[in-house]
Amino acid sequence: MTTKRLEIERMGYGPEAIAHDADGKTVFVTGGVPGDTVEAETDADEARFSRAHVTKVLEASPDRVTPPCPFVDVCGGCPWAHLSYEAQLAAKRSGVVDALTRLGGFSAEDADALVAPIVAPGEPWGYRNKVELAVVTQRGRAVVGMHAAGSAGVVKVPSCPLLDSKFKGVVKAVQGAMNFLAGSRDLGLERVGIRASRRTKELEVALWGAPGPFPRPQVAKVLGDATKVTSVVRVMQKGPAKARRIAGVERLSGKGSWGELVGSESMRVSAPSFFQVNTRGADKLVSLVMEGLSPAEDEEAMDLYCGAGTFTLPLARKSGFVSAVESYGPAVRDLRHNLDAASLTNVDPIGGDAGIEFPDVDADVIVVDPPRAGLAADVVAQLSDQPARAIAYVSCDPATLARDLARFRDEGVFEPVSVTPVDLFPQTFHVENVTILHRQ
């Protein structure tokens, strides 16, 4: 291990900052803030780059701040917490412009003109409606806590300032309950999910682990005594770590699902289903999509990768008919429930892969909200065959968004007219983007 003096230049798309050593080699630096002068110890030295972590700040950047959580350097949840929020926002927008330039083939001028000012829909702390606790075995005992930075371990924390402050004591209460339960037997758990809504007052605890014997009544009672929980569920998984599949979901107490309000829509979401962790951010995504598409009553809409219906429901309110495609079984069931609860009958929920189950319709407006991997090439081709006047592409990864916009350009049908970054994940490098494409 060697120690280097480094000038931190900028943030990368990741938890680390970027510097160059005396030989010009790129160094990815954990704990650095642009404008810092630091001493950093090398963790890995490759041919073209190295990785290091800050051991001493020699001269602090004007953008360096003291975060409100004492665990940010050991917990993996807030890698950008030492960077002022204004600087975080600027770095995220710059990252989107950079991705469009390097990976999308846009000129720097065109990319900068295309990307709108970043939107900050809420506060930089206390914005999350969900946290996950890891469960590991240490010295023969189960330990429940936050994922540790850069390792497979856990960090026991009394609270998480990213979680809505109304539920400040929930993390400690759940940790205590689970430590008590695990003290007498192995529950076979891998993680514990907590979902909390300020708007509906609902709190759900989801226990993720392997099938097998389980003390259901005891677990439900202990968690119920520890928290004002409205739902306790057990999510059972099978298969290797990188290919887990849901083997079943059991309701241990309460409603068996979690409820949230997004805009004017009431939604219920089961524990395995994806839902945006920032509710105010989800509100903003919906408004940007709906404003960008302006669907009309006589128009047909398509919603690919629709999940539990975050965009499907408002689309159904405004358009004549919606074809909604989702591959994940639990989310499809949630979508059907949410449509029934909203008394919306002008939606065709389709279960399956978007490329294989691509709707046989002529859509006027389209929403796509794919996972981090982005759109498959065949989906871009099928979208380009549609007669639609506009597409709203909601992306959580600037790199795959840039790649897909280049594919749309190659097809020569749809052209992006705006990319709006939305900061759904303060204190991290992640950024959501809403891109509106119009027919050329």
pLDDT for residue 289: 98
Question: Annotated binding site, which residues?
Answer: 276, 305, 326, 369
pLDDT for residue 235: 97
pLDDT for residue 150: 76
Active site residues: 396
What angle do helix axes 85-102 and 398-411 make, rounded to 10 degrees?
Answer: 30
**CATH topology agreement for domains 130-261 and 278-439:** no
Fold type of domain 130-261: OB fold (Dihydrolipoamide Acetyltransferase, E2P) (2.40.50)
SS3 sequence of the chain = CCEEEEECCEECCCCCEEEECCCCCEEEEECCCCCCEEEEEEEEECCCEEEEEEEEEEECCCCECCCCCCCCCCECCCCCCCECHHHHHHHHHHHHHHHHHHCCCCCHHHHHHHECCCECCCCCCCCECEEEEEEEEECCEEEEEEEECCCCCEECCCCCCCECHHHCCHHHHHHHHHHHHHCCCCCCEEEEEEEECCCCCCEEEEEEECCCCCCHHHHHHHHHHHCCCCEEEEEEEECCHHHCEEEEEEEEEECCCEEEEECCEEEEECCCCCCCCEHHHHHHHHHHHHHHHCCCCCCEEEEECCCCCCCHHHHHHHCCEEEEEECCHHHHHHHHHHHHHCCCCCEEEEECCCCCCCCCCCCCEEEECCCCCCCCHHHHHHHHCCCCCEEEEEECCHHHHHHHHHHHHHHCCEEEEEEEEECCCCCCCCCEEEEEEEEC
Global pTM value: 0.95
* Domain locations along the chain: 2-64, 130-261, 278-439
Give me the amino acid identity at 146: M
CATH code matching the domain that covers 278-439, chosen among 3.30.9.10, 3.40.190.10, 3.40.50.150, 1.10.3190.10 = 3.40.50.150
**In contact, 73 and 148? CB cutoff 8 Å:** no
The CATH code of the domain at 2-64 is 2.40.50.140
**In contact, 142 and 134? CB cutoff 8 Å:** no
For the chain (length 440 residues), average pLDDT per consecutive 10?
92 95 95 96 93 96 96 92 98 98 97 98 96 84 84 85 94 92 83 97 96 94 96 93 85 97 96 96 98 98 98 98 96 97 98 97 98 97 98 98 98 98 98 97
Question: Annotated binding site for S-adenosyl-L-methionine, which residues?
Answer: 276, 305, 326, 369
Residue among 287, 127, 145 at smallest CA distance from 197: 127
Chain position carrying tokens 């920032």: 278
pLDDT for residue 147: 87
